[in-house]
Structure 1
Amino acid sequence: MARAYEEIADDRPHGRDTCARRPRTRVVRDSGRHQWEKDRARQPRTTRAATGATEHDTGLVAADLVFLARYRTIEAPAPLAEAFGVPEGTPLLERGYRTRCAAETAPFGLVTSYLLHAVAAADPDLLDVSKEPWPGGTHHQLATVGVEIDRVEERCTARPPTPQETRELELPDGTAVILVRKTSYDINDRVVEVCDVVLPGDRTELLFTTRLERW
């Protein structure tokens, strides 16, 4: 069962000295991961449960990972309402994720995903954090309510971390964070997920592969 990540904040060692003594797992976030995720959404449950996007990005296996999740319902603030094309205050399902290597103390990134609550509620399981980690991830979750993702847009920026980000990601002094705003569109050109990811700049690589049509 997934646990809210705040519930186990005190389970892990504190302080930078602890993590400084072990090499950090590097994460390569390849743009090809989105097709890989979509392909998995139609695979049998055993296949979907065997591996996920974090394993894809890190080369680790599920047994190496500690996964934490938190769900809550919020009213869409203006920026998210604009992103979804809905009125401000529309209910959203906010999902927070933290995944780390079991041998390490900091997560690979800080992930906050948003779905329209009315869309997710068509399958009550999508509102239940105890179902996490969900085999097949968001692609499969949305497929259960008849949504097929057509394309994913990612905008990447960088900035200094906030004190909370420095603490949670255990960042060395002077390290920037990479911000990824991932927007998923369905086959009807509707925004169906907005996901904000904060990545530690000292151990994350972004890899973009652009396949070109042949003449």
Structure 2
Amino acid sequence: MENTLLDLLKSVDTPTVCNAIEVAQGKRGFANFTRGTMLCSAPEAGAIVGYARTAKIAAVNPPSEPPEVIRERRMAYYKHMSEGPRPGVAVVEDLDYPDCIGAYWGEINTTVHKGFGLSGALTNGVMRDLGDLPQGFPVVAGSIGPSHGFVHVCEVGTPVSVFGMAVNDGELIHADRHGALVIPADIVPMLERAIRKLLETEKLVLEPARRDGFDFASFEKAWAAFEKART
């Protein structure tokens, strides 16, 4: 991913990228985004952009496997998170959903992942230690809670699902306080142009609507220009 596209993606919100994907595809119907309301640890921090480093965890029940197996997988998890293309995003599915209790994303774990060079985390699970999480590492999570429960890693690098969004390891993620989406690989070369076109097209309505004296006649004229620009 070129730096100009990366900088642009960081500067716009996830709804804008969702719309721009449809501009690039030339149709409505893009659907690989999260459903429902998610929570963001730093809603004013801007977008999380990066290639997914996936895993699955659970925390309601103690692990049934031997401790050495759990430890080995935990270390494999951290090794996986420390590697791969950058920018990267930790995308972790909590298998206990919708009854998640294990706040995997607290002060220590977020600081470790930030140290690995990751840009943030996306999970259907739990976060905690709000106010103590490191700056520059937003977490978009399913809930907030106080305990880590019996949290343990179940899978590393496998396909995951977060709030209805399917994610494969290595796919490009865009996330913010609105939720998240997977950017299709085939539209990445067209995405910068699509975002810029979308932003320019939206101005055709937004600028007149913000002026004094805006009325239906002004709207009708602006909307006609807007529709013409979209076709």
Under a length normalisation based on structure 1, what TM-score does the superposition of the two structures give?
Answer: 0.23
Structure number having the greater strand percentage: 1
Structure index of larger Rg: 2
Which of the pair has the greater relative contact order for Cα pairs under 8 Å at 6+ separation?
2
Structure number having the greater helix percentage: 2
Under a length normalisation based on structure 2, what TM-score does the superposition of the two structures give?
Answer: 0.22
